[in-house]
Chains A and B, each alone.
Chain A
Amino acid sequence: MTLARPIMPPLPPRGRRWGILIGVAVVVVVIAYLAFSSVGGALVYYLTPTELLARGDAAIGETVRLGGLVKVGSIAGVAPDLTFVLTDGTSEMPVRSASAPTRSFREGIGAVVQGSLTASGVFEATEVIVKHDENYVAPSEGGLPTQGFDPGT
């Protein structure tokens, strides 16, 4: 057909199998290194304000997801200078958001923000995800791609 069929090569020297095995091993090691060396840093922890504060200065600069209720009366300004306070009932965390949340964002609603704590004690959020309420059935039931969370922020 299109390729001239090569003449069957002489029986492979023992080195041939080793050559391939070493190649495979190198590929696997490189990929495993890529995967495992970065996984610790890439893991985004989901914390409450109390848990975040308990980490002390170690928490500054670390990307985390912070979950809590939007404190009533705390919303001020608009993105990229939107500020509000997230509370878990015990501790409170002032948040400044660079991105606009969806319309359902309001006082008293559960929200998750992704970002990091700054040295000034304000949580700088890059993303605000409004939690779906109890009646909302999307995440596990439909079983359709991208329903695990609502990226529509």
Chain B
Amino acid sequence: MLRVWLLLLGAAGCGCALAQAPLPLKAGSEFQPPAIRTLQADEFANPAMLWVSQGEQLWTAPRGAAKKSCADCHGAAEKSMKGVATRYPRFAPQSGRVLNLEGQINICSVERQLAPPLEYESDPLLALTAWVAHQSRGMPLAVHIDDDLRATFDAGRRLYNQRMGQLNLACRHCHQLNWGKQLLTDTVSQGHGSGYPAYRFEWQKIGSLQRRLRACYFGVRAEMPEYGSPDLLALELYLAWRANGLAIEAPGVRK
């Protein structure tokens, strides 16, 4: 009995509590002002939809030495991509690594279209990611951590709980322990990525989840990991798991 109590105390003390997801689970849009929530829901006026439209066009555009379009293999995205974004990041056995949506799109670009990979934050990659993610809008995230994902998941959880930067803060200090509180006129969110890629007014364009994570690193005056780095990918995986059950809002609109 004493051992059980000590174990529980230990677990609580080291911050790696058994319940990692905040309760109740709240989507990022719930922490945005009403005008921005309305804009996100407006399928026409949502500025990110400009990139979704571009993605729709790119989907059927032949590319690379193979002169293949996404549609040539995947057919209509409305059918084949429905639900796909709810399962990412995932482990791809063919490439032997963990992939987010951007990574998967680039596997297709390089190996199927025989074209160069698309750069992070380039309009084509943003457009395709937004187009694919949009097909799962409203569907709940369902990322299952199996053996192949375990190491990346643990790395992500460690990073989430690790203090960093001049401000010496971990992600959890804001998004697990203080969500709902005010920072100037911003309300601290729970830190889910289910709204990404999102149009952020700060950026005056759409951006990936990795860009948003880099912005957080900058916010606590920490060195930002490079796009596509293992740290950012691990965090993406951990965040997706943490948001399991939340509906995908992509493409979101954020301040």
A binds B: no
Query: Which residue numbers of B lie inside 8 Å of A, CB to CB?
Result: none
Query: Which residue numbers of A lie inside 8 Å of B, CB to CB?
Result: none
